[in-house]
Structure 1
Amino acid sequence: MAAENAQIQKGDTVAVWGCGPVGQFAIASAMMLGAARVIVINRIPERIELARSLGAITVDYSENDVSVLVVLKDLTGGTGPDACIDAVGLEAHSSDLQGAAR
């Protein structure tokens, strides 16, 4: 649904934040709709590896010197992605009360 709502066109570059189950579906859907490149932003190694196996370019934002904005600009020649999908769940920060408040 997110990939369809993003109106992905053939040849687009799509950025997907989060690559849990919903993010994995977003990656596959973006590719099915003709995206030339899907860039995934996440920090969990197993999910990053799964995204790579689907053909996505991955960005691990937990690495010390990683600026997602800079990486996206570098990967797109300064123009940014054609479409962005937020596939991060509620548990992205923390499962405790303080994390939910953020």
Structure 2
Amino acid sequence: MPRIEEDPSVPLIRVTGPADARTAARFGQTVTIAGATGTRSLTVDLGDVTQLAGAGVSVLHRLTARHRDNRTELLLVAGAGTAADVVMTLAGLGHATGHG
């Protein structure tokens, strides 16, 4: 189960561990709630994700589309060369490299 840390002072969620079929539902629900169902801009730091599998990528695509439709920003962040950076690049998910 990925560990998700929320910082109440800034719209930031830091995710650690795997984002896979077993954890995707909880991951998606947590990010959706933190982003007020896409109506509030949000940064998601994926730099400490150990595995970003297809289910996690699907969640990120869905969340990105929701924020785009609501004209809010969903900033995905992962350190250069991390598992999340490589997978998001291959999946065509726009993201920043570095830690949020």
| Length-normalised TM-score, structure 2 | 0.42
Larger Cα-atom Rg: 1
Instruction: Say which structure is richer in strand.
Output: 2
| Length-normalised TM-score, structure 1 | 0.41
Which of the pair has the greater relative contact order for Cα pairs under 8 Å at 6+ separation?
1
